[in-house]
Amino acid sequence: MDFTERSDPLSLFNEWLNDAKDKEPNDHNAAALATVDAKGMPNVRMVLLKGHDQRGFVFYTNFESAKGREALGAMKAAMGFHWKSLRRQIRIRGPLEMVSDEEADAYFNSRHPQSRLGAWASDQSRPLAKRDDLVARLQEMEAKYGTDDIPRPPHWSGFRIQPQSIEFWQDGEFRLHDRIVFSRDAAFNADSETGGETGGDTGWSKQRLNP
């Protein structure tokens, strides 16, 4: 079936992410994460998608980093995937919620011990005089926590983007790309004159867009 005929964005997302896993040389789950700071100035950087389901799309970070502070300040974000090998793009926008402590612990504990220690050692996004200082801090954390039972730092956890819209883009010949956007944003859904279809019981409405 042509992807533009699909009615469930989550199953389409899963398929495209799996295709990317097969095709991309590394980090098929990497996405650009956009936030805004307190003055409304946009900011963007890459993160890794570490979970997704009906509730939304999860990434983890240091809450005291620039992105952490911006995410906490606005409690909304956008995410963009681009898979060059597949010539596909997915865009996701929506409000943020924090993942539960249990969910964050489970993911944190699945990480390599050095990555767990790194979460303690790095004052993410704040100035670092020299790399040796970071290495020394890592050694300090290793002496303190060892390599087995490393607790999750209180300033490190995950956010979940609760999608209000998910857009799928596939490259087409001569820039005549295919775009569809699924939305459950009230304002969008009210705009029935644009020809959007309601997604039946999926709770999503769908609209094809000009490239």
Ligand X SMILES: Cc1cc2nc3c(=O)[nH]c(=O)nc-3n(C[C@H](O)[C@H](O)[C@H](O)COP(=O)(O)O)c2cc1C
The catalytic residues are 175
Q: Which helix (H) or strand (E) holds 135?
A: helix 131-145
Q: Which two tokens stand for residue 43?
A: 């900011």
Dist CA 12 CA 17 (whole Å) = 9
Q: Which amino acid is at 38?
A: A
Count of chain residues binding ligand X (CB under 6 A): 15
46 versus 135: smaller Cβ distance to ligand X: 46
Q: Could you tell me which of 101, 113, 76, 78 has the C-alpha nearest to residue 156? A: 101
Q: Is 61 in the site for ligand X (CB under 6 A)?
A: yes
Binding-site member from 10, 37, 45, 185 for ligand X (CB under 6 A): 45
Q: How far apart are CA 126 and CA 129, in angstroms?
A: 10
Choosing from 57, 59, 81, 169, the residue that interacts with ligand X (CB under 6 A) is 59
Residue 133 is a binding residue for ligand X (CB under 6 A): no
Q: Does 67 bind ligand X (CB under 6 A)?
A: yes
User: Tokens for 81?
Assistant: 């995937």
Residue 62 vs 165, nearer CB to ligand X? 62
In the complex, the residues that contact ligand X under the rule CB under 6 A are 27, 30, 43, 45-48, 59-61, 65-67, 124-125
